[in-house]
């Protein structure tokens, strides 16, 4: 990592106190408790919690391969074009793998991600691919099945695993199954949901979900071009099982992101999160993982954490995306107000099993991060800090690392990746891009930011490497909110038994804060550590906190913080 970076936006304090042992005790600072002025010199004190002579035993946990990964979401159509037709493809992706991870941990000019999620690559009539016509054939625009196998092989050589979108809620209206099902009594008639009369049920906001076809009506939750499969039919379930087995056994996929996971089976007017959906997913996951226990089952459950976490707690999914947390992180950065974010993060972590949720800032259905935070590079960097120091398994949407811009409609949040500054294809293609490039790519591109130690891309690279080297930042680490003297200052403690403690501190404001003081009633600290800046401005002196008998600190005087400043400080015995 580059200790010379004077403007690094990294909020982590490595408290290397492995001998302290054990997670933080219960309890958190009261939001109404204002820190008082007190010396924070790291002198030996009889009131300090003593470090145990022997490290406490580390609790046994089940660690899965995805827990220590950083995922990167790719829309293949927009990532890299190998043949000049303006459409991204799998061979193009292979040619750019070294930019994502070159497989050499000693280099620092790759992003460092260790897993990829590919948006749908099955054959489809639409640009986005979420209406499948063949579950076992790669979309011809992207290449062939052999191209995908070559991608898996090349990725694994670099330490990268690949999961793919599996769209099981619905197919394309052009799928041969549905075309056959349009004839009453046909082989595939019961593979979809039909009614002789309109059932009188609508979707959110009255949106139509039943669509006319001749004298009958079929159910399609998202739109008429995507009829829902009848997953209550054993034959359909068997076909979905077989498709999943094909991608794992024959194609080499490491697992799946399940689109629209909460919508799989309806019950009358209840169109989401039905008991039947939970049960179906449990069965699918169990059958998939019986011969391949390491096949990841990740679900899109766009709902409150209390609902999404149930899918993980009840064994229906390995991971679920937490959409509410993504919104809260962006809101805190956009508003410069950290008042409740740490506590919200702590609550989210508490409702999921350890390592049970996927953290992200944006995806292919949402406005891009750079626009969501007002087009401010400093805010974009701090959003990255929040994401990559969070306990959730992190997912980065392609292009966020260079500040790629985009607002709805969907095509404009899925524009081609800008690799260099050469028009018209900007390194994405030698031809005309399938979609016009986004605004601002003269600066928001890989080549222009790669050699700049203060760029957003360099910040993402540093954060990913920091996370890889600090177990406390991973899903196994706890998160404890720390009270700050100013509402714009975000501060939390990350702790992993036996591997140290990390404090994350950020001034989210556009204005400097004169004197930042932190307090923590109870925590995981012990002894009398000393402080040293590890990443950020090495000339900034920061004293260590005075540890109290409960492993926290009454006050920790950080001193002044510049606008949008984050610090990395190591506290060592």
* Contacting residues for 366 by C-beta, under 8 A, at least 6 apart: 372, 413
Pairing assessment for the beta strands 393-397 and 71-74 based on DSSP bridges: parallel
CA nearest neighbour of 117 among 153, 74, 147, 146: 74
- Going by the DSSP 8-state scheme, the letter that residue 462 receives in this structure is H
Measure the CA angle with vertex 53, ends 48 and 55; round to 5°. Answer: 100
CA nearest neighbour of 399 among 80, 130, 83, 104: 80
The answer to whether the CB of 73 falls within 8 A of the CB of 119 is yes
The answer to whether the CB of 526 falls within 8 A of the CB of 551 is yes
How many Å apart are CA 273 and CA 162, to the nearest integer? 28
Taking residue 103's Cβ as centre, other Cβ atoms within 10 Å add up to 15
Sign of the torsion angle spanned by Cα atoms 290, 291, 292, 296:
negative
- Going by the DSSP 8-state scheme, the letter that residue 543 receives in this structure is P
- In the three-class reduction of DSSP (H, G, I as helix; E, B as strand; rest coil), residue 556 is classed as strand
Sign of the torsion angle spanned by Cα atoms 393, 399, 403, 406:
negative
In sequence order, the β-bridge partners of residue 327 are: none
Instruction: Assess whether 259 carries a catalytic annotation.
Output: yes
CA nearest neighbour of 554 among 41, 52, 44: 41
The answer to whether the CB of 316 falls within 8 A of the CB of 296 is no
* Contacting residues for 154 by C-beta, under 8 A, at least 6 apart: 94, 97
In sequence order, the β-bridge partners of residue 513 are: 561
How many Å apart are CA 511 and CA 368, to the nearest integer? 25
Instruction: Give the E-state strand segments of 261-328 in sequence order.
Output: 296-299, 319-321
* Contacting residues for 530 by C-beta, under 8 A, at least 6 apart: 42, 544, 571, 572, 573
How many Å apart are CA 463 and CA 292, to the nearest integer? 32
Measure the CA angle with vertex 367, ends 132 and 375; round to 5°. Answer: 150
Catalytic residue of the set 81, 122, 259, 303: 259
Catalytic residue of the set 122, 139, 141, 300: 300
| Residue 561 host element (H or E) | strand 551-561
Instruction: Assess whether 515 carries a catalytic annotation.
Output: no
Cite the active site residues. 259, 300
């Amino acid at each position: 990592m580059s200790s010379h970076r004077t403007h690094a936006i990294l909020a982590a304090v490595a408290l290397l106190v492995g001998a302290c042992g054990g997670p933080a005790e219960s309890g958190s600072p009261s939001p109404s408790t204002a820190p008082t002025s007190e010396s924070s010199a790291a002198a030996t004190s009889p009131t300090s919690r003593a470090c145990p002579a022997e490290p406490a035993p580390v609790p046994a946990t089940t660690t899965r391969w995805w827990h220590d990964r950083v995922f990167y979401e790719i829309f293949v159509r927009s990532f890299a074009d190998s043949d000049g037709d303006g459409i991204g493809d799998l061979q193009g992706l292979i040619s750019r793998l070294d930019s994502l991870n070159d497989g050499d941990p000693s280099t620092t000019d790759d992003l460092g991600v260790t897993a990829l999620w590919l948006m749908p690559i099955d054959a489809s009539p639409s640009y986005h691919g979420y209406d499948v016509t063949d579950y076992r054939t790669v979309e011809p625009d992207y290449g062939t099945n052999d191209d995908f196998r070559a991608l898996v092989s090349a990725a694994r050589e670099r330490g990268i695993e690949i999961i793919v979108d599996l769209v099981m809620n619905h197919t394309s209206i052009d799928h041969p199954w549905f075309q056959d099902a349009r004839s009453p009594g046909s082989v595939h008639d019961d593979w979809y949901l039909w009614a002789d009369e309109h059932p009188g049920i609508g979707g959110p906001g009255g949106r139509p979900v039943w669509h006319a076809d001749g004298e009958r009506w079929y159910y399609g939750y998202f739109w008429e071009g995507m009829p829902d499969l009848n997953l209550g039919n054993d034959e359909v379930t068997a076909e979905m099982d077989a498709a999943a087995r094909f991608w794992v056994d024959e194609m080499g996929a490491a697992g799946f992101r399940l689109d629209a996971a909460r919508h799989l089976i309806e019950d009358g007017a209840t169109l989401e999160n039905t008991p039947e959906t939970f049960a179906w997913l449990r069965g699918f996951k169990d059958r998939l993982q019986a011969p391949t226990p390491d096949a990841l089952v990740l679900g899109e459950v766009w709902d409150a954490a209390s609902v999404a976490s149930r899918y993980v707690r009840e064994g229906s999914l390995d991971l679920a995306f937490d959409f509410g947390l993504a919104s809260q992180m962006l809101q805190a950065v956009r508003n410069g107000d950290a008042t409740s974010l740490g506590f919200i993060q702590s609550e989210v972590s508490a409702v999921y099993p350890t390592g049970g949720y996927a953290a992200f800032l944006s995806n292919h259905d949402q406005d891009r991060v750079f626009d969501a935070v007002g087009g401010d590079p400093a805010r974009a960097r701090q959003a990255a800090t929040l994401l990559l120091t969070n306990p959730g398994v992190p997912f980065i949407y392609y292009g966020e690392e260079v500040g790629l811009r985009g607002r709805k409609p969907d095509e404009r949040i899925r524009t081609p990746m800008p690799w260099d500054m050469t028009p018209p294809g900007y390194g994405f293609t030698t031809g005309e891009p399938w979609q016009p490039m986004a605004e601002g790519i003269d600066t928001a591109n890989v080549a222009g930011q790669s050699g700049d130690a203060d760029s957003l891309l360099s910040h993402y690279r540093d954060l990913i490497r920091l996370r890889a080297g600090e177990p406390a930042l991973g899903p196994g680490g706890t998160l404890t909110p720390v009270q700050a003297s100013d509402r714009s200052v975000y501060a939390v403690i990350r702790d992993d038994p036996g591997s140290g403690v990390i404090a994350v501190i950020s001034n989210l404001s556009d204005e400097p804060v004169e004197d930042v003081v932190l307090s923590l009633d109870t925590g995981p600290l012990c002894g009398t550590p000393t402080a040293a800046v590890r990443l950020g401005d090495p000339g900034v002196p920061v004293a260590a906190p005075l540890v109290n008998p409960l492993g926290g600190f009454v006050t920790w005087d950080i001193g002044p913080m510049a606008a949008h400043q984050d610090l990395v400080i190591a506290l060592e015995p």
